[in-house]
Amino acid sequence: MNKRKREEEAGNSNSNSNSMEIVWQTPANPPESQDYILRNGRRHVRPYYFEFISHVKNRWAGKTIVDLFAEEFKGRPYDYYVSAVKCGRIQVDGEIVPVSYIVKQSQKISHFLHRHEPPVMAYDVSVLQNEPDVLTVCKPASVPVHPCGQYRKNTIVGILQAEYGLAPLFPIHRLDRLVSGLLILARNASKADFFRQQIEAGLVQKQYIAKVIGVFPEDEIVVDANIDYNAREGRSTAEVENANGAVKGKAASTKFTRISTDGTHSIVLCEPITGRTHQIRVHLQYTGHPIANDMLYLSEHVIGRSAGGMSADRAAANSGHSPEFIFHDNCPGEENSRDDFSIDPMCTNCPNLAPKGYDGLEEGLWLHCFRYSGPGWTYECPYPDWASLPE
């Protein structure tokens, strides 16, 4: 539901802001087609006003409202939080409080802000099958499946709702944001539960293709190496037993089969038996044949090519809202876009269209999901262009 209020900006030099009526959105507001701006091969979201809600945790209690935000959400300067509290953009239990206010455990904190989402590549989300209880699409690389971090409208679920009117949708599996390919979405909760039970029972086979560095071995390889995911760094490592017989991480297994090679790269069939974070990427690195454009799991020299900026994932992590600051129900080119959206005088991202810290240089991984199959059913997605090697 929208919330309307008349904004009275404290100390604001923008003459129009004192009479500006702002419509605050929540997750209940569905994405609409006019929310998107396509520019220079990127799909941007028109910045919008949004209410973030959280509840005071034990470690927050006893801090002033300003210190809480300055210490926990470092993506914005201290002075911004002072101004936001004074003008009511940060509230406690629906009330405006002084900057010296001491928060108490379990109180509701609202942060009303001008939200900028990172852009994604402007490929269409093509519908493959539209059945009464199942929808399958070809997910473009760079687009997350569902709302997370800084992304809400720039997601597969959001785009399908805005452009096709398809809702509700229940993704029955996930693809990493930079991975492309088959995505299966149930049209109702009972069908989603049907798929979930088959996946948990180990009855579903998943097949991906990857373009890797070097000549991959001709014989089938099965990698059994634990995956240890570091959430702070956003990357995983393959772990094997140390001298004491101990091993970190979770058990993981992937089967690899070479499809073709041109002597420089190889196209490899990847069949994950388990489902760990970045499993295929890490297990390919473990074989000595990482995905050829995987900046996260190639050598340090290659990773250094992107050191000049931050990816959208890194920008999201530094946005001033950690995953602890959640929604109600869950969790480059020319950027001066004054004709496309209203500039907010308090926003720390305006006048740019993309959020601060996003460098726009990332590309989709050469990793693509092309088939899921279970008892009595199979869904497929066409191969991408990069999957063909010259003879």
Residues forming the active site: 176
Q: Could you give phi then psi for residue 273, rounded to 5 degrees?
A: -90, -30
Could you give the CA distance from residue 139 to residue 203 in angstroms, rounded to a whole number?
Answer: 23
Q: Residue 165 region, left (φ>0) first, then alpha (ψ -120 to 50), else beta?
A: left
For residue 42, give the 3-state DSSP assignment. Answer: strand
Could you give the CA distance from residue 28 to residue 8 in angstroms, rounded to a whole number?
Answer: 25
State how beta strands 120-121 and 42-45 pair: antiparallel
Could you give the CA distance from residue 176 to residue 311 in angstroms, rounded to a whole number?
Answer: 14
Eight-state DSSP code of residue 165? -
| 214 burial type by CB count under 10 A (0-12 exposed, 13-18 middle, 19+ buried) | middle
Hey, what are 242's tokens? 């140390």
Hey, what are 222's tokens? 């099965």
State how beta strands 120-121 and 170-171 pair: unpaired
